[in-house]
Amino acid sequence: MKPAPFAFVRPAGLEHALEALAGDPGAKVLAGGQSLVPLLSMRLAAPSLLVDINGLPGLDHVTCSGDGVRVGALARHADVLADQEARRVQPLVALALGHVAHATIRNRGTTVGSLVHADAAAEMPVVLKLLGGSLEVASATGRRTIAADDLFAGPLESTLAHDEIALEAFFPALPPGSGVAFEEISRRHGDYALCGAAALVEDHRVSVGYLSVSDVPTVVDLSGVPEAELGDAALEHLEPADDIHATADYRAELVRVLTRRVVRAAHEFRQAAS
């Protein structure tokens, strides 16, 4: 199937891109295209205008500082994964990116694009939410910062307005004495996960984020829960569902297994780093 007809613009600067979006309520932003192009081809999306931001300068950065990692809108997954300073400042980003699809997808897809797509089966949305990160966005009327807790509105739905462009994601640094871990189960390497979990252990606090379990990326506070009860405690806050890939009962069992694994691995990470 071919995409429905659409207009196309390749703006020379950010202001031009924002004006194009503001002038057409049916416009969509094209960055990596690894989610949008298949939707166009299957006619699950039919924008009247595509605004290709790949030529915009200054948006392909991966910048690290003491407070965290900043990833520009055009930074490809592969570039973020290969950045050793980003891996040092916030190891969970690299741990999760290693599970994203295949090398071909990582070479083209963008980390910020994955966040905006807001797929609860993707790795990076749950990482941003678990870490308490944020997204900087811009429109023709100004800029704002969206906290991860406010970003994911529903299945494949973010809180960006139609005329906003995501400019940069911020992943907070791993505090000293903390530990992280990530694991997922998929039918084949590179497939979307049947279930995935990311853990963050800080002092006496234990938090675990889940993908491919609920309609949106979900983080559960498991502080003080005995190891044998971690999975069942998490399931009190989750909604595993049946689909063509797995039953709800199977997903619930994966939650139990992966929760114990990632919490244990995060504690081991913490001990090794101390």
List the chain pLDDT tens, one digit each, 274 residues: 689 999 999 999 999 999 999 999 999 999 999 999 999 999 989 999 999 999 999 999 999 999 999 999 999 999 999 999 999 999 999 999 999 999 999 999 999 999 999 999 999 999 999 999 999 999 999 999 999 999 999 999 999 999 999 999 999 999 999 999 999 999 988 888 999 999 999 998 999 999 999 999 999 999 999 999 999 999 999 999 999 999 999 999 999 999 999 999 999 999 998 7
Which of 174, 194, 213 is at the close of a domain? 174
Report the number of distinct structural domains present in the chain.
2
- Residue 237's domain is classified under what CATH number? 3.30.390.50
Q: Residues 194, 216: one domain?
A: yes
Which of 174, 198, 225 is at the close of a domain? 174
Q: Residues 103, 211: one domain?
A: no
* CB-based contacts of 151-154 (< 8 A; 24+ apart in sequence): 151/115, 151/118, 151/125, 152/118, 152/120, 152/125, 152/216, 152/217, 153/118, 153/216, 154/215, 154/216
Q: Residues 184, 161: one domain?
A: no
Q: Residues 34, 125: one domain?
A: yes
The residue range of the domain holding 196 is 179-273
Where do runs of H (alpha helix) occur along 120-220?
123-131
Q: Residues 127, 1: one domain?
A: yes
Which of 174, 190, 220 is at the close of a domain? 174
**How far apart (Å, rounded) are the C-alpha atoms in residues 233 and 256?**
9
Q: pTM for the whole thing?
A: 0.96
